[in-house]
Chain A
Amino acid sequence: MELSKNNIEQVFEFEGLWGVKSKCGLKIIKKEDSHIVIVSELYGENPGNAITSVSAGLAMQIAKQFEIPTDKMVYIESSPEMNSKLSFYDEEYFRVFFENNNGKFSNPSWEKLTKEEFIKLTK
């Protein structure tokens, strides 16, 4: 299996559950009134937690490091194409919504995006 890096501009190191050192792919698109944050799973290249296991914590770490106001963040999780015969490793995109309590994210919920919706949102 080979990871597609289409939506990865940099590798972001983050602290996972219980302080586990973890990595994800990251691309930030700055728009006039928002910041589109695309985090990508790195599978075998990530020594720690999956992005979906720690969505709220990871979004907060990105917001802090890149000084993105949490109310201006559009957060997308991407499972990149793995060029695998197994359908569980197909490319997928999910927009993640958080409860935002005074700038602190919690209780994520996911909404699947089609490729077209993803392109439209990130254009």
Chain B
Amino acid sequence: MKFKLIYPRWEKLEGQTNFTLPPHGPVVMAATIPDYVDVSFTDENVEKIDFDEECDFVGISMMLTIQIKGGWAIAREFQKRGKKVIFGGISTMLHAEETMLYADSVFLGESEGRMEAVFEDFKNNRLKKVYNYMTKQPAIELIGPARRSILKRELYNHKGVQMVDLFHASRGCRFSCYPCAVSYLGGKSFRPRPMDKVIEELDTIENNRLFVVDNSLAQNKEWEMELFRNMIPFKKKWISHTIDADPKILDLAAQAGAWYVYQAVFDTSDYIKERVKKYHDHGIGVEGTILLGLDNQSEDDIKRLIDFLLEIDLDLAEFTVLTPFPQTKVYNDMIRQNRIFDKDWNNFNAGKVVFTPAQMTAERLKGLYDYAWDTFYKDETQEQKMFRLFSDVVLREMKEGTYRPRDRKLANKSFGKKI
């Protein structure tokens, strides 16, 4: 049986670099598909979909709200050709009822231990409209190494430099942050993978650079330290979301190959300044993630925040506009206050303003968002700042003997396209 798995395209934010990383959801899901199924994967961000490719069954995996309308359109094309389409992934879970209108089936939840039954149902022509495993998370031990063999590696390469591989060591989140839907999607408790499973998966990844995509590694200090201790022998360099700024943990993280981490910067406090300094003192870079448009932010607050970012010497900054994604507190608050004026999911890209801000007009907020990108990258562009971070990691790899030269055969290509 041939299963065609699609990852729909989305528009990058204005000002964001055009680097495309290999997706994580589809390779994790593909690992749970029975062995007798041949999987053909298309990431529409890097290649066109061949709607006429021979296949028996189609899967559409969606991570972002801005993928869903594209995903629905793709489903329609396959259905016109007589194919059945199943949807999964986290934005399917957030938009399940709407997606059901376009799907032969939707899968809600985590797929480990469940795909055998789905494919049996398909084979026997009894596919269910919904496979509902919301909050019925499988045993964490069941998560095996992702099936990265389905990726076409050369499409995630820029001028001979391979993009990082995505990897996860835990699921769920014990924090329910105001703009975030993760606790709805992955449950409100932190679920670390057993360390032997983490090691088993790291062992399968050839890439020497990773993005550890866990929502937050800072959920259990003992586990975090154990994770870093176990990562040291792999000599990989990695990016991650926030980690604890405890010196003991940072020391282990640095030994384990921490390259740079994301850090939410929400105010101009000494707490943030010191935290960034602590990361830097351990040789770990920091990309600030800055959310603009919160109800407690005035125009002056946003301008002060941007000045502050330049002062604290962040390596990179990514600005986003507050976006009320379904199943978040911000969505519920704004629905109640009738403040969401744009309900086109294609505009929920965190670069457009879809709600009425509390302290300014939507146009002014968009203006400040543009101002933030322009001001932060005025003296040194995002590409230049990234190049600096990249050079740092190359030097570290050379020192440690883990550096791999760029692939000369792909030197004139960027994400599969000739340059």
Query: Interface on A for B, CB 8 Å cutoff?
Result: 17-21, 43-44, 47-50, 52-53, 77, 79, 86-88, 94, 109-110, 112
Contact = CB atoms under 8 A, between A and B. Distances in A.
A18 B332 contact: no
B178 A86 contact: yes
16 contacts: A18-B130, A18-B134, A19-B132, A43-B176, A44-B188, A48-B135, A50-B332, A52-B336, A53-B327, A53-B332, A79-B333, A86-B296, A88-B296, A88-B330, A88-B333, A110-B335
A17 B176 contact: no
Contacts, number: 51
B135 A110 contact: no
Nearest to A51: B332
B184 interface: yes
Contacts of B330: 88
Contacts of B329: 50, 88
Contacts of B337: 110, 112
B176 A18 contact: no
A122 B184 CA distance: 32
B332 A52 contact: yes
A116 B294 CA distance: 26
Contacts of B333: 52, 79, 88
Contacts of B135: 20-21, 47-48
Contacts of B184: 49
A86 B130 CA distance: 38
Contacts of A19: 132, 134
Contacts of B295: 87-88
B321 interface: no
Contacts of A17: 96, 134
Contacts of B108: 18
A79 B294 CA distance: 18
Contacts of B296: 86-88
Query: 8 closest pairs, A vs B, by CB?
Result: A52-B332, A110-B336, A18-B134, A87-B296, A88-B178, A20-B135, A18-B132, A94-B336
A52 B335 contact: yes
Nearest to A109: B338
A47 B132 contact: no
Contacts of B188: 44, 47
B336 A77 contact: yes
Given A18-B132, A49-B184, A50-B327, 17 more contacts: A17-B96, A19-B132, A43-B176, A44-B188, A47-B135, A49-B327, A50-B332, A52-B333, A52-B335, A86-B178, A88-B294, A88-B295, A88-B333, A110-B336, A110-B337, A112-B336, A112-B337
B338 A110 contact: yes
Nearest to B336: A110
Nearest to A43: B176
A18 B301 CA distance: 40
Contacts of A86: 178, 296
A20 B134 contact: yes
Residue among B184, B329, B332 having the largest count of chain A Cβ atoms under 10 Å: B332
Nearest to B294: A88
Contacts of B130: 18
Contacts of A18: 96, 108, 130, 132, 134
Contacts of A110: 335-338
